[in-house]
Structure formats: structure tokens, C-alpha cells
Structure 1
Amino acid sequence: MKHLTPTETVNQIGRLNLSGNIIPANWWHHIKMPSGKPDSTAIILLSEIIYWYRPSEIRDESTGELKGWRKAFSE
């Protein structure tokens, strides 16, 4: 396997703190309507549910250091 050194742009993108809904590409191939087309409503709804059940980071406000994880919402 060839090892490629990432460019500075790739490194900068890797440092982005991506948050919010993330939809895995394979959902578009597996979650389908009876017609065989992707069920975009179901996919987006599932991504919302998954987003709300993901843990949230707890960070030190002065240093930004990751201190732990918590539930995103109370029950």
C-alpha cells in the first residue's frame, strides 16, 4: 500500500469540528421505497434520530480540552 503525505488543505479539513447530521452514503443504497428509489424522508429522519442520540462533548471553556461526554438531551 502506497503511503501518501496529506496536503496542508487536507490537514486543515481534518481539523474541522464537523457536527450535525451526517448521512452515510450507503444509506442511499439500502433505505429504499417500494419503487426502488432512495427514501429521502426516511434517510433524513433517521439521521435526525441518530444525531440526537449521539453523545455531546464536554469541553473546558478556557482551554478547549475534552473533559468527557454527556447525553445530548435529558429524558
Structure 2
Amino acid sequence: MHPACDMLKNVRFAGNLIPHSFYRHIRRESGTTDFEGVGIMSDILYHYRPAEIRDRKTGRITGYRQRFRGDKFQISYRQYAEHYGISKGQVTTAVKNPDRLGLVFREIHDGCPYRWAQKTCPPYEIHSCFCMKNCHRI
């Protein structure tokens, strides 16, 4: 086995997984791959994947829970812009592609999505609620 493979065999990666089909399907109107859209779609997919609940003693899976509070995953364009190091305009464009393709649908909300975070959220900030729609098709 290659030393790098041997070194990584015990590393447990967490976070976004990007299905290869996203690169073929999430494209700009010009036909090129929308890498920002792929990243955002994979983040939405991550938040909708159930998290495992494990027994601390045995390590066995005892159940699953959702990764977000409320009935839909909510995040602002500003938060995505900071996370990916891109502008809010790029985020706005990138979010439109999965929506246009029918993979997710968006609901726009003004203000803060959670009561506990209202002190840290600017009142003018727009939050999008994302809901998975036909992601399993790609």
C-alpha cells in the first residue's frame, strides 16, 4: 500500500460530500460547471443528511437526528459568502442554479430564523430556507 494511503486509512473525514453527477448537472446557462453552485448544493445536501446518534459505550448507532433546527434548513447569503470566500452576488447566482434545475426550492425570509440568534442577526438580513426536492435524480 502507498504510504499516503496507509496514513489516511484511520482518518475519518466529515463534512460535505460532492457527488460527481453534480458537476455534470449543475451548470451555468453558458454550459460550464457552476462550482459555487455545486459547493452550495453539496452543503445543502450535507445538512439534510441525517446525523448518526451513537451509544457512547458501544459505539453502535442508536438512531438519527436532523442537523438543523426547525422544519427547513435556513442560512443567509452572507453566511455562504463568508464560508466560501465569495461575494453575495456570486452566492445569489449560485443558489439560482439548483433552484432553476428543480433540485431544491427556496423560501425567502426577512430577519433572523431563530429567536435565540436575534441579537446577532441584522434585522435586514435575508435568510433562505432550502428544501430538498429532486436531488436524488442526479
TM-score, length of structure 1 as denominator length: 0.72
The DSSP-based 3-state class of the residue aligned with 2:53 is strand
The DSSP-based 3-state class of the residue aligned with 1:47 is helix
State the AA in 2 paired with 1:58: I
State the AA in 2 paired with 1:56: A
Report how far residue 16 of structure 1 moved.
6.8
Distance 2:37 2:62 in 1: 34
Q: How many residues align?
A: 66
Which string of whole-angstrom CA distances, capped at 9 and with x for unpartnered residues, describes residues 31-50 of structure 1? 11122110001110011111
Partner of 2:14: 19
Aligned: 1:60 with 2:55: yes
| Structure 2 gaps, min length 5 | 71-138
Task: Considering fraction of residues, name the structure with more helix.
Answer: 2
The percentage of aligned residue pairs carrying the same residue is 38
Partner of 1:72: 67
Query: Cα 1:70–1:50, aligned 2, differ >3 Å: closer, same or farther?
Result: same
4+ aligned runs moved over 6 Å, structure 1: none
Task: Considering fraction of residues, name the structure with more strand.
Answer: 2
